[in-house]
Amino acid sequence: MMIRRSRSALFAATILSLPVAFSPVFVTPAAAQWVVYDPTNYVQNVLSAARALEQINNQIQSLQNEAQMLINQARNLASLPYSSLQQLQQSVQRTQALLGQAQRIAFDVQQIDQAFQSQYGNISLSTSDQRLVSDARSRWQNTVGGLQDALRVQAGVVGNIDTNRAEMAALVGQSQGATGALQATQAGNQLLALQAQQLADLVAVVAANGRARALVDAERAAAAEQGREQRRRFLTPGSGYQPGNARMFPNGN
């Protein structure tokens, strides 16, 4: 029993005699960090973030609207990439050329007045029979030429129908595919120009037919006047028959 106590005392003395470096260290734990949650502040932060996001979205939408507006303006100002002016002018020029090729009496006021004064006016009593026949033939040639000219103009106008059909189809297609107001307006203006060209052809046909009909009526009126003059000359008493010597056989007795 005494031995055990001696050992315990020796062990305790040994422990007490150890250096301080080998002594156990006891560390006091650091103070805990507390996080305080403020609901009001959190809500305000969320609302601020939402408002900022809404402003950004509004700015983006505004920029998109401005970009679309610029695109629409560019489309409205874009010119139509198709023009039928040259084709329409060529059709009008062909019709004008046919009218300019009018035979004998052209579409000219002074020339018409001169022709009617010389060939369709009152027949003078002193006009020779040969002159009467010559004037009648000239009037007939005028009438035939006028009828031929009318037929040629009609044929030219009919020839323009195919060109007009192709141009009308092209312009309608351009109008339907227009990307802006300017293109649609230009396509509409060209369609109006096509109608004007067709009206010009119609006026040319009416003028040519009217000229031919006027020449026919003028020839009839002049022929009636000439017929009266020739009948008057036939019925006017002359010097009568004067007998003379007739020789049947010039070399005979």
Consecutive 10-residue averages of pLDDT for the chain (253 residues) = 48 48 47 66 85 90 84 78 90 93 91 89 83 91 95 95 92 88 90 94 96 95 90 75 58 53
The reported pLDDT for the residue numbered 244 is: 60
Q: Which among 228, 207, 194 has a CA at the least distance from the CA of 90?
A: 194
Residue 107: how many other CB atoms lie within 10 Å: 14
DSSP state of 36: P
Q: What is the pLDDT of residue 234?
A: 85
Q: What is the pLDDT of residue 35?
A: 60
Tokens of residue 90, six digits: 């060529």
Cβ partners under 8 Å of residue 102, min gap 6: 145, 146, 149, 211
pTM of the model: 0.65
Spell out the alpha helix ranges (H) of 32-119: 39-77, 85-100, 109-119
